[in-house]
Amino acid sequence: MENILERDPETGQGDPPPLYRSPFLGSAPSVQRVRTMIEKVRDSDAPVLILGVSGTGKELAARTIHETGRRRAGQFVAVNCGAIPENLLESELFGHARGSFTGALRDKSGLVEEAAGGTFFLDEIGDLPLSLQAKLLRVLEEKKIRRVGETKVRPVDVRFVSATNKDIEKEVARGNFREDLYYRLKIIPIELPPLRERKEDVVLLLDHFMDEYSRSMRRSRPRFSPLALELLLSYPWPGNVRELQNEVQRCLIIAGDSPVVREDFLSAKINPGGETASPASQRLAEARAEFEKRFLREALVRCRFHRSRTAEEIGLTRQGLFKLLKKHNIQPRRPASGSE
């Protein structure tokens, strides 16, 4: 049966709505705000500062800004400011002239120049050494770079996007980050919410990654056991979407050809007590699921497959109804013409 998330939730047919095309899956208001902000800023050249704890998708947000904006024909060049030794970082960013230091055997352009016409992404900008912050500020203001060992300045047409999981205002107060650079970078701030603040999206994300990894592994998609799903939904996900994604991939590998991802396949941090469902609780869960499926089908028939009316009759939000339909793999018929 076709995945309801790949179809329009109103008509059941045609192109999927933007919610499901976007890499930022979710119905939480905070996620909707992120998508709206990306749409507003993607064609601008103003610097963007993406804020969020680890695992929330900061580089994904930066790539989405680039790939959906007017600069998508150019390169997206990313550098992690904390991953390159300080003595090499200036040369990596701005390039160098031959002979400017030991080992500089030829002229070399920097990563900023390579992003000409596109987007330059500075990940973990909070780790940028103070010695380079003034030089980056000058590049942002003048749109020109100077290679190490050269006096010549070169114009660059680059859109800067940066990201950090640090509290930059605290870093400014401590003297670790230039205040003028901070305000230059955060002309457009975008804050990504942690998963614990949008628990309603966990089911959707689990579903998405189950589909993705099942396809990539060329296997039929399994389902989670009721207890496994309960444990996944109650877990706080401190590693956010990245942790959830890794857990789904791990579970599918451990599950092998099993049609069910059981609770004992989960990692120890999610199932620390090694819980397993007893036969009685398994039968109860199956009975509850059968009741829910029958209840939903009957309600849909009574309301002539009108989703809004069905949700109202059984006391759910429309999104809550869609989640239950997805949970039980129920594909409603297209509503009668003019009914929605």
Residue 185's pLDDT band (cuts 50, 70, 90): very high
pTM for the full predicted model? 0.73
Is-contact 199 241, C-beta < 8 A?
no
The predicted structure's pLDDT at residue 100:
79
In angstroms, the Cα distances linking 119 to 40, 59, 62, 112, 127 are: 16, 12, 9, 9, 20
- For residues 252 and 213, the answer to whether their CB atoms sit within 8 Å is yes
User: Which pLDDT value is given to residue 108?
Assistant: 84
DSSP assignments along 63-117, one per residue? HHHHHHSTTTTS-EEEEETTTS-HHHHHHHHHEE-TTSSTT--S-EE-HHHHTTT
Q: Looking at beta carbons, which pairs linking 244-249 to residues 24 or more positions away fall under 8 Å?
A: 244/195, 244/202, 244/205, 244/206, 244/209, 245/205, 245/209, 248/206, 248/209, 248/210, 248/213, 249/209, 249/213
pLDDT value of position 65: 95
pLDDT score, position 206: 92
Question: For 112-126, 213-227, 313-327, which range has the lowest pLDDT when averaged over its residues?
Answer: 313-327
Q: What is the mean pLDDT of residues 277-294?
A: 63
Q: Which of 4-13, 254-263, 265-274 has the lowest mean pLDDT?
A: 4-13
Taking CA atoms, 334 is separated from 9, 251, 340, in Å, by 10, 35, 10
Domains, the chain, with CATH or none: 29-192 (3.40.50.300), 290-340 (1.10.10)
User: Residues 262, 225: contact at Cβ < 8 Å?
Assistant: yes
DSSP notation for 252-266 = HHHHTT-SEE-GGGS
Q: Which residues pair with 155 in a beta bridge?
A: 144
HSE toward the beta carbon, residue 159, CA cutoff 13 A? 27
Q: What is the pLDDT of residues 299-336, one digit of tens each?
A: 887 888 888 888 888 778 888 788 778 777 787 665 54
At 52-95, the pLDDT tens digits run: 999 999 999 999 999 999 999 999 999 999 898 888 898 889 98
